[in-house]
Amino acid sequence: AQKVTQAQTEISVVEKEDVTLDCVYETRDTTYYLFWYKQPPSGELVFLIRRNSFDEQNEISGRYSWNFQKSTSSFNFTITASQVVDSAVYFCALSGENNRKLIWGLGTSLAVNP
Amino acid sequence: NAGVTQTPKFQVLKTGQSMTLQCAQDMNHEYMSWYRQDPGMGLRLIHYSVGAGITDQGEVPNGYNVSRSTTEDFPLRLLSAAPSQTSVYFCASSYWPSTPDTQYFGPGTRLTVL
């Protein structure tokens, strides 16, 4: 069975701090895909990144970076120099290669305080 | 492109009433899905479709019907609303059929059943 665990339910930081959101997944598929989505207070779901299991290179996009480690089944998300606008719920999700269903973590609520 | 649109944005129903949540996309995506989001439960898949005329059940299909007569539209029908169906409903779409691709979400419908 596939599963995504986001152990951190809520995180609170002060602006400009770095913060890492953890995502641990379980799957027996050799090919799979991992995603991160952001849900700001306005409620919409915003796509952040998609990675496949064969690409273990870390990804950096501005202040955002992702660390994919197959050895520990983790796909962690780091925000550098956090800003108030980063306050949101962040979801990690997993899909197998031939799986028509996306498996979601329960999300981590991040509050960035001024 | 309008992307994924959902109507209505808000709806209040009485127990036993029926209604249809509308979802449309203009990206020519084959894959469309419906999720519900409840506090502490994350996103749960209700139904999905991989093309016109093809639908399948997700994790929590009871009490909901779907049909897919066109590529663009994927309505969700509540047959007899119950208070347990109070939730925020999201529609999503993506490319298909080979690799699980990024799902793009509509703005959501907030449904309250009294």
Q: What percent of chain B has pLDDT over 90?
A: 83
Q: Nearest Cβ partner of B58 from A37, A97, A101? A: A101
pLDDT at residue A100, as a whole number: 74
For residue range A32-85, list pLDDT tens digits in order. Answer: 999 999 999 999 999 999 998 988 888 889 999 999 999 999 999 999 999 999
CB atoms within 10 A of CB B93: 28
Confidence band, pLDDT 50/70/90 cuts, at residue B1: confident
Closest A-chain CA to B41: A106
Question: What pLDDT is attached to residue A12?
Answer: 98
Measuring CA to CA, which residue among B93, B92, B95, B94 is closest to residue B108? B92
CA B67 to chain centre: 11
Contacts of A50 in chain B (CB under 8 A): 101-102
By Cβ distance, the residue of B42, B107, B108 closest to A104 is B42
A45, A97, A99: residue with CB nearest B105: A45
**Residue B100: pLDDT above 70?**
no
pLDDT in tens, B73-82: 999 999 999 9
* Contact residues, chain A to chain B, C-beta under 8 Å: 33, 35, 37, 43-45, 47, 50, 52, 91, 95-97, 99-102, 104-107
Contact criterion met (CB < 8 Å) for B102 and A97: no
- Judged by CB atoms closer than 8 Å, whether chains meet at B41 and A106 is answered as yes
What is the pLDDT at residue A35?
94
Where do we find the tokens 């929590």?
A: B60
Q: Provide mean pLDDT across the span B18-40.
A: 94
Q: What percent of chain A has pLDDT over 90?
A: 79
- For residue B63, is it left (φ>0), alpha (ψ between -120 and 50) or beta? left
Question: Strand, coil or helix: what is A56?
Answer: coil
pLDDT score of B31 more than 70: yes
